Amino acid sequence: MALPLEGLRVLDFGHTIMGPSCGVILADLGCEVIRIEPPGGDRTRRLVGFGVGFFPTFNRNKKSFAVDLKDPRGIAVLKKLVETADGLIENFAPGTMERLGLDYDTLAAINPRLVYCTLKGYLPGPYENLPALDEVVQMQGGLAFMTGPPGRPLRAGASVVDIMGGMFGVIGMQAAWREREATGKGQKVAASLFESVAFLVAQHMAAGAISGQPVPPMTERRTTWAIYDVFAARDGQVFVGVVSDQHWLRLVQQFPALADLGADPLLATNAQRVAARDRVMPRLNALFGGMAVDEVVSGCNAALIPVAPVNRPEDLFTDPHLLAGGVMAAHALAPGVTADLPLTPVRMASGPLPLRRQAPRSGQDTADLMAELGLDAAELAAAGVVEV
């Protein structure tokens, strides 16, 4: 299948998650993404704990070019590769690319059409030279406060800010390529962690401005809907959200044990149900507590009421919707370990985005790319400048 960004070459200097997530989305969309790594491979390949899956998750559909960035000969090789590139991604600490001689101004002089995406902790301002991490900015931007119980800030359960920052990088690069069609020139675009968090919590900032009151964490509910909770079922937990009067009518019709509540005119509107929540919730807790999760889910689904079991990540391996939708593909995660993981969740008219290449071994494509550039890979490999 033809992919929308085919024909664009991007050099991915990313590491950990933010840069690689930007690169993997572009790769899934069809870009030729070349992962720039040091000989021996990026340190992300060797992470343990929660980080053990980072590299195979965020580096599919990419090539690997392994080169020593501390060797002037390696920098010279990279500059030759930059001449052929449409885009570049980097999320090093502030000042690193400048010290390497790979800053935007230097590379734009080599290739004026280059779109250079820099992903940092902060956009320009007083903080711009400070180090940052996903968890740091979740604390700094109020997201951890909104996620945890009162007095116990809690980071989100995935690297949401790293990935969102990478997504904003993709948006910026696509916009810059579109502008390049008119001007013929590339440009430097930037996205960041802190400003991404600010974007995420803007709805809470607005709520506080309107109410004139400090916004409490999401765990300390200021009830908007009477039924919008996790319920304990007989064999697990299930979330049910009744956010309209139509949902309410369908709920009480679907579950006959609630028929008397449905007939009560004092519960006809959401505002009335919120006021009577102390009366409504015990009935629902008793009802759902005597049912299996699957029974609650199937009943709510039949009535088109928002519902979901409280799953663990590993439950998604067998999720029938994901498996049927073509958004999962078998990733080689480690020697002898293969598992279906989600691809970029965009579906084009031609179908879901495919897995075309597994995450590469370090330096897998160095020799081929150097041959394309007319360079002798064997000589530089013998000197330890590149890995093939």
Identify the three-state secondary structure at position 341: strand
pLDDT per residue as tens, the chain (388 positions) = 789 999 999 999 999 999 999 999 999 999 999 999 999 999 999 999 999 999 999 999 999 999 999 999 999 999 999 999 999 999 999 999 999 999 999 999 999 999 999 999 999 999 999 999 999 999 999 999 999 999 999 999 999 999 999 999 999 999 999 999 999 999 999 999 999 999 999 999 999 999 999 999 998 866 789 999 999 999 999 999 999 999 999 999 999 999 999 999 999 999 999 999 999 999 999 999 999 999 999 999 999 999 999 999 999 999 999 999 999 999 999 999 999 999 999 999 989 999 999 999 999 999 999 999 999 999 999 999 999 9
Domains of the chain, residue spans: 9-200+323-387, 227-313
SS3 letters across 168-202: HHHHHHHHHHHHHHHHCCCCEEEEEHHHHHHHHHH
Q: Is it true that domain 227-313 has CATH number 3.30.450.20? A: no
Residue 330 tokens read as 């078998």
Q: Is 99 exposed, middle or buried (0-12, 13-18, 19+ CB in 10 A)?
A: exposed
Residue 117 tokens read as 């995406």
Residues 6+ apart with CB under 8 A from 178: none
**pLDDT value, residue 199:** 98
> Which architecture, in CATH terms, is 9-200+323-387?
3-Layer(aba) Sandwich (3.40)
**pLDDT value, residue 222:** 65
**Residue carrying structure tokens 């149900």:** 273
| Residue numbers annotated as active site | 162
Q: Report the predicted TM-score, pTM, of the whole model to 2 decimal places.
A: 0.94
